[in-house]
């Protein structure tokens, strides 16, 4: 499988202008994409799993006093079936990312792929142009999702989230998952995707975003890749709920700990191999998706992204199991 050689779908990734409207505006603008995602999620997680996951997720959001609860509740009401709360708190994806000076255009750039076994996300990706109090940003997202996983704020910064290993408590991966959910149930801090949205909404500079991502408590561990508007503004932040380790750029990350001593079960496909391949190419790779090949590219890869906030450039391609699912979206000359 080769992302550059695969036959691209004729589908164009839509750019949806919602300005300062809540995320339900994306649902209204792209209802067919949301319906497709929900259909696939029900098939993967089963209707019973969706109902139970929804109940747990909604109860946690209420108990935590989450600031995006009403937005997610409005989306759930619009969907009319279980799943919206669950999918907004899903954290079952893996990623490969890097920040470095852009060798062609100047400034700093973010390279990023997102892997998620849930099929349909590649063909249903949208770009939401939205605005918070700090200014506009382009959110690479899906209808029905209230957080931010990957985005670019022109003139400010670009950022993305990677998922760390699952903490190891027992001999069993499934038992570890249950134990972690038990601990999560007692935490009230923001989920990583909600913190990243808050950062894009409120932080005017790279330094302000960096400080917020380092210091703000979160409800579970995360890796944040942050790329600023200047050539030397880039870092990767390893986070636990309350601690942080910063790798100044240029740097690349997959889904294993490098700076913090945390035990855990690796997620996704060949985390060490993906990072090793990214490490070979990210500082010199051209601004296309020629760097997206195995093992960075695998059957779970759903997105490839290049973002340069200084030059207001954003490139996105949706991917599915058999290769490219969309044309390449390009913002900026």
* Domains present along the chain, CATH in parentheses: 15-331 (3.60.60.10)
Looking at residue 6, its pLDDT comes to 42
Looking at residue 231, its pLDDT comes to 95
Looking at residue 2, its pLDDT comes to 46
Neighbours of 43 (CB within 10 A): 12
| Both structure tokens of 181 | 């959910």
For residues 243 and 75, give the distance between their C-alpha atoms in angstroms, rounded to a whole number.
33
Dihedral, 29, 306, 257, 295 alpha carbons, nearest 10: 100
Contact 294, 139 (CB under 8 A): no
Neighbours of 104 (CB within 10 A): 12
Distances 136 to 105, 140, 152, 272 between C-alpha atoms, Å? 22, 13, 9, 35
In tens digits, what is the pLDDT along the chain, a chain of 333 residues?
Answer: 444 434 446 799 999 999 999 999 999 999 999 999 999 989 888 999 889 889 989 999 999 999 999 999 999 999 988 889 988 987 767 889 999 999 999 999 999 999 998 899 999 999 999 999 999 999 999 999 999 999 999 999 999 999 998 777 777 666 766 777 667 777 888 999 999 999 999 999 999 999 999 999 999 999 999 999 999 999 999 999 999 999 999 999 999 999 998 878 787 789 999 999 999 999 999 999 999 999 999 999 999 999 999 999 999 999 999 899 999 999 986
The β-bridge partners of 235 are 226, 248
Phi and psi at residue 307, to the nearest 5°: -135, 135
Looking at residue 7, its pLDDT comes to 43
Give 163-192 pLDDT, tens digit per residue.
998 777 777 666 766 777 667 777 888 999
Contact 116, 298 (CB under 8 A): no
Alpha helices in the chain (DSSP H): 24-29, 31-45, 47-64, 69-79, 84-88, 173-184, 192-202, 206-215, 271-281
Contact 37, 120 (CB under 8 A): yes
Looking at residue 92, its pLDDT comes to 66
| Both structure tokens of 314 | 């954003």
Looking at residue 49, its pLDDT comes to 87
Residue with tokens 């950022």: 159
For residues 317 and 324, give the distance between their C-alpha atoms in angstroms, rounded to a whole number.
7
Looking at residue 78, its pLDDT comes to 92
Looking at residue 174, its pLDDT comes to 64
For residues 243 and 221, give the distance between their C-alpha atoms in angstroms, rounded to a whole number.
9
Phi and psi at residue 248, to the nearest 5°: -70, 145
Contact 203, 192 (CB under 8 A): no
Looking at residue 89, its pLDDT comes to 86
């Amino acid at each position: 499988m080769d992302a550059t050689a695969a036959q691209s779908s004729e589908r164009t990734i839509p750019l949806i202008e919602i300005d300062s409207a809540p995320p339900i505006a994306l649902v209204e603008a792209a209802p067919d994409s949301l319906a497709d995602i929900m259909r696939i999620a029900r098939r993967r997680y089963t209707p019973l799993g969706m109902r139970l996951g929804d109940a747990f997720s909604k109860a946690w959001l209420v108990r935590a006093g989450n600031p995006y609860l009403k937005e997610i509740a409005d989306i759930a009401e619009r969907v009319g079936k279980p799943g919206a709360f669950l999918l907004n708190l899903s954290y079952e994806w893996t990623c490969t990312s890097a920040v470095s000076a852009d060798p062609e255009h100047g400034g700093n750039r973010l390279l990023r792929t997102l892997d998620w076994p849930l099929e349909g996300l590649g063909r249903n990706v949208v770009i939401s142009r939205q605005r918070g109090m700090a200014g506009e940003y382009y959110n690479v997202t899906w209808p029905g999702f209230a957080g931010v996983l990957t985005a670019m704020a022109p003139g400010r910064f670009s950022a993305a989230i990677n998922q760390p290993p699952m903490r190891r408590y027992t001999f069993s991966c499934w038992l570890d998952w249950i134990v972690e959910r038990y601990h999560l149930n007692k935490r009230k801090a923001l989920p990583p995707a909600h913190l990243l949205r808050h950062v894009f909404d409120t932080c005017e500079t790279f330094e302000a975003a960096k400080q917020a991502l380092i210091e703000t408590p979160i409800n579970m561990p995360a890796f944040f890749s942050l790329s600023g508007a200047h050539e030397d503004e880039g870092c990767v932040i390893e986070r636990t709920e309350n601690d942080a380790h910063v790798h100044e750029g240029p740097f690349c990350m997959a889904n294993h700990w490098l700076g913090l001593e945390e035990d855990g079960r690796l997620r996704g496909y060949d985390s060490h191999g993906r990072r090793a391949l990214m490490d070979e190419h990210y500082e010199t790779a051209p601004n296309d998706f020629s760097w997206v090949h195995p093992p960075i590219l695998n059957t779970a890869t759903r997105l490839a992204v290049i973002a340069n906030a200084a030059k207001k450039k954003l490139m996105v391609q949706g991917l599915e199991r058999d290769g490219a699912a969309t044309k390449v979206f390009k913002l900026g000359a």
